[in-house]
Every structure is written in structure tokens, then in C-alpha cells.
Amino acid sequence: MARQMLEEAIATPTAKGRGQVPVLIERFAVRLRAAGFRDDEIVSVPVEIDGEKTAGLVVRYAGRDPKAKPIAFLGHMDVVDALKENWATDPYVPTEKDGYIYGRGSTDNKAGVTALVASFIRLKKSGFVPQRDLLLAFSGDEESGMMTTRALTRHPLVARAEYALNSDAGSGQQGADGKYRFNIQAAEKTYANFVIGARNPGGHSSAPGPDNAIYDLARALVKLEGLRFPVEFNDITRIMVADLAKEKGGELGDALNRLLANPGDAAARAIAEKYPRDANILWTTCVATMLQAGNAPNALPQNANATVNCRIFPGTTVEAARARIGATIANPKLTVTVLGEGVASPVSPVNPAVFARLQKAMDATYPGVVLKPSMSSGGTDGREFRAAGIPTYGAGALALKADDGRAHGTDERVPIAAYLKQLDYWDALLRDLGSRP
């Protein structure tokens, strides 16, 4: 059943603009009703975005104690759209090949949501009654705005949650050495886009003057390239960096240990910057990602804009990052504005009791794997839940190999064996958490 649900979900193209999220919700609802969930326990949370009707989904697995705070289990039903011509298979036709199921959303995040729905159904059919409410809280636009996520955090059932466990932040890795590595995501950087804008009256290209919007913007971007935010630590990243220093060793390990002792060590920072995939947890990053300028090849540019993407360390506000960019480019003729909305996300506190339960479920699935808290540089629904005051932690047991990290890219795929093994993890975790007050 879980495999059938995954294939049905992949075959439902839930990308923005296709209007298919409500279709997937109804497919889940049919199976949930058949398992014994009442209609009033399966709640669609409708939201209209840019003229498209989409929705979030709340499923209540009713517990014995209605006064106890529930636990929410998160995932997102939407996907980033795919270009069929770039794929070896049709992205919306689930295809089995070499032990994988290929299809858009197979890992991000339909493997998570279908495993959770299947686990709720499995428990319901077994007659299990939890001590307190367990909730599914699935968003419908995590990839394109998280408006449904915000609606979920305001839903009266979900808003009461003691904490949330996020399947979208619960995958791990199987290294070339065969060893498995999983973490508990307890924080993530804020995602924010800014636009640096230059304006000019323009004119005929045959008579260029001393002012040019493109040149002004180019000089600003050169300055932006040199922007460095300070090294920062919180309770989560301090653990991560200490572990990373042990794992990496060498010059990077030495530099990380020196930064732990003295975040202002410029020489150690210079070494860490040579390893951006590891060091990005140490500071806020801002990088130019898009350019738009000019309106005709024979006219002086009247407008020049650069989009700057920032991944902001928890505790730094979006406005503080915007102000820092403005101070760096130091040109009052240019504007720095927030594109869309950036949401600051606090760090979820280290919770030994919750972590012990997650470790117990991991022990039942991948014995010997030791879970530790982590912070991610990407963004998930957890950002909005943390901002709403609901501590959120990554949870799951989807083990991916190095070449399986294809979310948002071509030929996305999920290992069938790893997907099915998740069912053992969620069954153990849901029974454990549901049996406790």
C-alpha cells in the first residue's frame, strides 16, 4: 500500500500552477476514511495563491487525553515542476529502474508524506489508540511561498502542538564506506532575497555621460563580493562544528577548533572559507544570483537590478542583513529592498526527551547510528513552525547515497528499499510517542 501511495503521489503533478494539490489530498483522504478516520478528522485547509486554489492537510489521530498537547508530523505535498525533455523518464510517471523509483517529488517530499499517511493507516487498522492526539500537517506550497504552511500553524489543532517532527528534514546518507549518517535538524537559516537597484534617466547610447546604472550596480556587486558576516555559534551549531572538526581533521578541523575557541580568528576563517559546503553553517551568506538591466542595445540603461540571495544565521534579522548590504555597497543612489518576505526562524531548543525518542526509533531501524542536532542552510516548513513558536525537529529514516541527492533536479529518484524501511522507523516512533503522556 505504501508503495502504491508513493506512485500515486508522484503521478499527481503537484507543482505550482497545476492545481493538483487538492487532488492529492482527496486521494489520501479516500484511504484514510477506509482505514477508519472520520471526515471531521481529515481537514483540508484551503488557500488561494495567485488565483490558484491549493490547500494544506490536517489529519487528527485522536488520543485518549484531549487536554494533552498533540504532536504534529510535517511534510509537503507540492513539488518543483520538471522539464520532461530533460529527464530520462517521464517525471510524472513513476518508473522502477535499478532498485529505484524515478519521478518528480520521489524524495522531496512524497517519500515522507506517503510513509506518514501509510503509517497512520497501519496503526489505525491495528486498533492502536494514542495517549494524545497525533497530527499530520502537510503543506501545499512549501516550494513556492509557504502560505499554506502559515495557515497550518494557525489551525486550532496544529497551533496547540507541543512540538513538530518534520519528515522533509529527516533524510540521511549512506556513505561510500557503507555507514549511515542521520541528524536531527533543529535549526535552519532564514531564506531572504534582496534586490539592489540602480536608476538613471538614461539617454541615447551615442552620448554616454558620467552616470550609468549598470556601472553603478557593477561597482556595488564587487563590494558585495567582499562582504563577510561574522562567525557565529548557537547551541546546535556548536555541537555540529565540534563534530565536524573531529570528522574532517586536517587544516579544516584545526581551523574549526580555533574558531570555536575564538570566532574572530581571521586566519582560521580564511582556511574555513576554502570549504564552503562545510563552513556555511558558521555565518550568514549573501550572494548575487540574478541580473536584469537596460531596455535597448542603443539606449543608456535606466534600470539595473541584481537579486541577492541570503541564508541568514538564526538570531540575525532580515532587516539587519539588508542594512549590512546597504552599508557594504555604500552608495546612497542605490536601493536595497526585500524581495517578497523573509521570515526569521529561531533555533529549536535541545530537547533531550524528544531526542531520546528519535534515537530509540533510529536504533530500531539503523542500529549504531548516533543522532545529533544540526542546522541546515536550506529552508523547510520548519522555518514557519519555529517562527510560530512550535519547536520543530527533523525526523525520518530515508537513507540516500551520494548520487541520490537529486531534489529539484533531473531524474529525481528514491531507493525502494530505503523508502520501505522508513515504515519500520515511523511505526516504532509513532507507537512510542503515542504511548506517552
Model pLDDT for residues 266-298, shown as the tens digit of each residue: 999 999 999 998 999 999 999 999 999 999 999
Q: Are 52 and 104 in contact (CB under 8 A)?
A: no
Identify residue 186 by its one-letter amino acid code.
Answer: A
Confidence of residue 85 (pLDDT cuts 50, 70, 90): very high
Proportion of the chain above pLDDT 90, given as a percent: 91
pLDDT of 265 reads 97
30: number of Cβ within 10 Å: 11
**Confidence at residue 168, expressed as pLDDT on a 0 to 100 scale:** 96
- DSSP result, 263-276: TT-HHHHHHHTT-H
User: Would you state the cell numbers that stand for residue 140, as one nine-digit string?
Assistant: 501545499
Q: What's the start-to-end Cα distance of the chain, in Å? A: 30
What per-residue confidence (pLDDT) applies to 230? 97
Across the range 13-22, mean pLDDT stands at: 97
Give mean pLDDT, residues 232-251: 93
Residue 436: the pLDDT is 80
Q: How much is the pLDDT for 342?
A: 76
CA-CA-CA-CA torsion sign (324, 325, 327, 332) = negative
Over residues 259-267, the mean pLDDT reads: 98
CB burial readout 131-167, b (16+ within 10 A) else e: ebbbbbbbbbbbbbbbbbbbbbbebebbeebebbbbb
Query: Is the Cβ–Cβ distance between 430 and 119 less than 8 Å?
Result: yes
Per-residue model confidence (pLDDT) at position 197? 98
Query: Quick one: pLDDT band at residue 44, thresholds 50, 70, 90?
Result: very high
Question: What pLDDT sits at residue 225?
Answer: 97
pLDDT at 48 (0 to 100): 96
Return the half-sphere exposure (C-beta side, CA atoms, 13 A cut-off) of residue 347: 20
Q: Is the CB of residue 75 less than 8 Å from the CB of residue 380?
A: no
* β strands within 283-412, DSSP E: 285-293, 299-300, 303-312, 335-339, 373-376, 392-394, 398-400
Residue that wins the pLDDT comparison between 9 and 209:
9
Least confident of 77-86, 176-185, 407-416: 176-185
Question: In which band, very low, low, confident or very high, does the pLDDT at 147 lie, cut at 50, 70 and 90?
Answer: very high
**Would you mind telling me the total number of residues written for the chain in this entry?**
437
The H-or-E segment that residue 138 falls in is strand 134-139
**CB atoms near residue 77 (< 10 Å):** 30
74, 169 Cβ separation under 8 angstroms: no
- Tell me what the pLDDT averaged over the chain comes to: 95
The whole-angstrom separation of Cα 267 and Cα 221 is: 25
62 pLDDT above the threshold of 90? yes
**Does 343 have pLDDT greater than 90?**
no
Task: Give the CA angle between residues 347, 382, 192 to the nearest 5°.
Answer: 80
Alpha helices in 199-275 (DSSP H): 213-225, 235-248, 250-261, 266-272
Q: How far apart, in Å, are the Cα atoms of 387 and each of 143, 154, 180, 280, 381?
A: 18, 12, 31, 22, 10
Judge whether residue 437 has pLDDT over 80. no
Residue 22 clears pLDDT 90, i.e. is over it: yes
Q: Quick: pLDDT tens for 120-143.
A: 999 999 999 999 999 999 999 999
Q: Is residue 73 scored above 80 in pLDDT?
A: yes
